[in-house]
Amino acid sequence: MASPKKRLQGLVAATITPMTEHGEINFSVIGQYVDYLVEEQGVKNIFVNGTTGEGLSLSISERRQVAEEWVTKGRNKLDQVVIHVGALSLKESQELAKHAAEIGADGIAVIAPFFLKPRNKDALIDFLKEVAAAAPAQPFYYYHIPALTGVQIRAEELLDGIQEKIPSFQGLKFSDTNLLDFGQCVDQNRERQLAFLFGVDEQLLSALVMGATGAVGSPTQINHPTQNSIGKELSLPHSPFLLTGILYSEIYQLCGQTRFWSVPDQSHHDSGIWDSNGPTPASTAESLQGVY
């Protein structure tokens, strides 16, 4: 069974893919991006080429280059770099998984194929198993986001027996609002030491109470007391989280939610990366000539 050098937990930044005004990837700022996450936000785990990074809108070549740059620039600075390698093509997903292993990534994640969708749990596991087999030493995470994939197979159902078929399986990124499903994932797999990473920012505190071991999202990259407070609790080496920490975080989040998407005195929040609905797509944000 795959064993990451350190359990993936706490805040995990879903990185934006920086672009130039001509729609090319701006690799020159990724080093600065790493320093910003580590030095200003205290975030040392990242999730690359996922939804926020628009991985599925990039070419295979671009995805490989982006992954390489993050791994290279994050060396000796970041704790874990997880690369999303999901694709509609099994062969492309396998190619990306092999590449992630070759460049020294700390894990790979895979989304369900969403054009010709798997009809049941067994079909989905077969797809995931083939991808994981292309990089068997890499910790493997399932990226559950049914609102975008349209694949309505419950995560709790998928986890039942998955490690017997995918020995490198280490956990999941749960990006769904179905807290019953999430709670059952945690409750029925407590002894497996899996990573339960929650991906719906607005429900994070509820997920923490239910046993989330970490959070993957975009707000982890914003210098805001809400995220800093929650991040400190997520970084503590205990489980479940301290009740007092949760309560303080609740206060911070409730105060911060109404301010989060509109911060007039911080130019990098209103520079085009963020709007009232969340992150603006990286490929259309003029301000992504820089990092933030």
Gap between the Cα atoms of 21 and 123, Å rounded: 41
Residue recorded with tokens 């982006």: 66
Other Cβ atoms within 10 Å of 210 Cβ, number: 19
Among 141, 173, 252, 292, the one annotated catalytic:
173
DSSP reduced 3-state for 6:
coil
173 is catalytic: yes
Token code pair at residue 216: 């993957």
Gap between the Cα atoms of 130 and 117, Å rounded: 16
Among 143, 165, 252, 292, the one annotated catalytic:
143
How does DSSP classify residue 19? Answer: B
State the DSSP H helix or E strand holding residue 215, giving kind and residue range, or none if neither.
Answer: strand 214-217
CA 72 to chain centre: 19
Gap between the Cα atoms of 232 and 51, Å rounded: 25
121 is catalytic: no
Any idea which residues carry the catalytic annotation? Answer: 143, 173
